[in-house]
Amino acid sequence: MLVEYAKKTGRFMHLLSDLPVFVPVVASGMAVKMYADQFSSKKLKYLQTNDLDVTVFTRDRLSASALRRLIPIVYKRYDEACEDYVKYLNETTEPDSVLVKRCPGTHDSKCPVSLIRKQGQPFFNRNVYAFKKYYVKSAEGELRELMDVVIVHQPGITPEIVNRRVRFGFPVPKVNYLIRELTSMIRVDILGKSSFNKKRHPVNGTESLKGVKDLHRLQYILTLTRDRAFDKHRMLVKHLLNILNKKSYSDETKSMRLREVLLSWVDPKGK
């Protein structure tokens, strides 16, 4: 319902437009679902998700003082936009709903800033500066997730990654960005060494469905472009899915083959 509200009102589209140092986009899982909802007549099984995550990229690597000054501004604007949405719920379908804001690892809604947290190495070069979760609490006390907003720096991100031709309600990345993002995520899912990465492994992870979904998301988003530069990505995801679906393979063999294929794969643009 939040996505429909955002699409109708445009409330989340330009929250940071006067702060050009920031580039907010919907993260890949929900972004692919938005594309599928827009362009596919079928409800594709592996593309469904309720997780709305927004990644706010900083275009430059900022100093600690700049981050501590600017991050509260970012979250204040998301706070206000989410409050407006909950007000809308109260006036329409869910009276007495309340917005709940939390920063993981703290007991309040003021988010600490980290200068050392990294994510997805060596396949991502991403600094995670701050993270905030938003929930809606119903009149009965039920808490449901609304959205997550993470503030990060990743070299090479510019406003040109945003698709401005399609009205999604949120800033959504272009197809070519999502192809590279999802390819990197798959490499993290299968080759990543941290406990967080390992749980997303599509064969033996405790949350293996997440890794499986990443493969299907990449397969789908590749159907939205005819750019021959991505032919090698098409071959890669087809190969990985064939391994995953091979009934004669044991889980051990599947894991080994997935790893071998990814270790031998080279991005044609070296990314």
Find all residues with CB under 8 Å of 72, minimum gap 6, and list them. 110
Is residue 109 classed as helix, strand or coil in its secondary structure? coil
Regarding whether 195 and 159 lie in a shared domain, the answer is no
Structure-model confidence comparison of residues 166 and 107, the more confident one: 166
Is residue 148 classed as helix, strand or coil in its secondary structure? strand
Cα separation, 210 vs 189, whole angstroms? 9
Contact 221, 39 (CB under 8 A): no
| 271 lies in some domain | no
Regarding whether 184 and 153 lie in a shared domain, the answer is no
pLDDT, one tens digit per residue, over 143-199 is 999 999 999 999 999 999 999 999 999 999 999 999 999 999 999 999 988 887 789
Regarding whether 73 and 186 lie in a shared domain, the answer is no
The pLDDT assigned to 229 comes to 94
pLDDT, one tens digit per residue, over 7-32 is 999 999 999 999 999 999 999 999 99
Regarding whether 186 and 169 lie in a shared domain, the answer is no
Boundary-marking domain end, from 131, 147, 173: 173
Regarding whether 144 and 183 lie in a shared domain, the answer is no
Regarding whether 234 and 207 lie in a shared domain, the answer is yes
What total number of domains does the chain contain?
Answer: 2
| 269 lies in some domain | no
Boundary-marking domain end, from 147, 173, 199: 173
User: Is the preceding peptide bond at 20 cis, omega within 30 degrees of 0?
Assistant: no
The model's pTM is 0.93
Residue 262 has pLDDT above 80, yes or no: yes
Owning domain of residue 221 = 176-264
Boundary-marking domain end, from 127, 148, 173: 173
pLDDT, one tens digit per residue, over 35-52 is 999 998 888 889 999 999
Regarding whether 131 and 191 lie in a shared domain, the answer is no
Regarding whether 106 and 197 lie in a shared domain, the answer is no
Backbone angles phi, psi at 270, to 5 degrees: 70, 30
In this structure, of 74-88, 184-198, 205-219, 222-236, the range with the lowest mean pLDDT score is 184-198
In this structure, of 81-90, 109-118, 173-182, the range with the lowest mean pLDDT score is 109-118
Residue 271 has pLDDT above 60, yes or no: no
Nearest to 197 by CA among 206, 188, 209, 187: 188
Highest-confidence range of 64-78, 92-106, 120-134, by mean pLDDT?
A: 64-78
Regarding whether 122 and 47 lie in a shared domain, the answer is yes
Regarding whether 114 and 86 lie in a shared domain, the answer is yes
Regarding whether 62 and 191 lie in a shared domain, the answer is no
Regarding whether 86 and 158 lie in a shared domain, the answer is yes
The pLDDT assigned to 108 comes to 65
Mean pLDDT, range 246-256, rounded to an integer: 97
pLDDT-derived band of residue 110, with 50, 70 and 90 as boundaries? confident
Residues facing residue 100 across a β-bridge:
135
Cα separation, 34 vs 44, whole angstroms? 12
Which helix (H) or strand (E) segment holds residue 132: the answer is strand 126-137
Mean pLDDT, range 76-96, rounded to an integer: 97
| 27 lies in some domain | yes
| 270 lies in some domain | no
| 19 lies in some domain | yes
Residue 266 has pLDDT above 90, yes or no: no
Query: What does the CA dihedral 249, 251, 255, 257 come to, rounded to 10 degrees?
Result: -10
